[in-house]
Amino acid sequence: AQTVTQSQPEMSVQEAETVTLSCTYDTSESDYYLFWYKQPPSRQMILVIRQEAYKQQNATENRFSVNFQKAAKSFSLKISDSQLGDAAMYFCAYRSAGDYKLSFGAGTTVTVRA
């Protein structure tokens, strides 16, 4: 079974500043996908960014980017120019290439200070 670990229960960031959320995972597989999901108080899980393990290049989506270190099994999310609307719980998730279910970490709550 895959284990996804998010070691930061809470993070706080000043508006317009940058925050980095950490995620590590444990797997014996070489082909997999990693995701960051955002869950605001409305509870809907929204996909923020996705990374294929076979791609060397780090994924980027507007103000969101990842630092994927395959050897270290690390997948951190950087939120640049933080906005009040970024406040939410963020989940790191893993999905094997041969599987369909997502394995989630425990989440990191991000607070944005005005």
Cα gap 22→74, rounded to integer Å? 8
Q: How far is the CB of 109 from another protein (least distance, A)?
A: 9
Residue 95 C-beta: closest distance to another protein, Å: 5
**Closest to another protein by CB, 55 or 113:** 55
**Cα atoms in the 13 Å half-sphere on the side-chain side of 77:** 31
Question: In the complex, which residues of this chain contact another protein (CB under 8 A)?
Answer: 4, 32-33, 35, 37, 42-47, 50, 52, 91, 93, 95-107
Smallest distance from another protein to CB 81, Å: 24
Calculate the CA dihedral of residues 74, 80, 86, 91 and round it to 10 degrees: 0
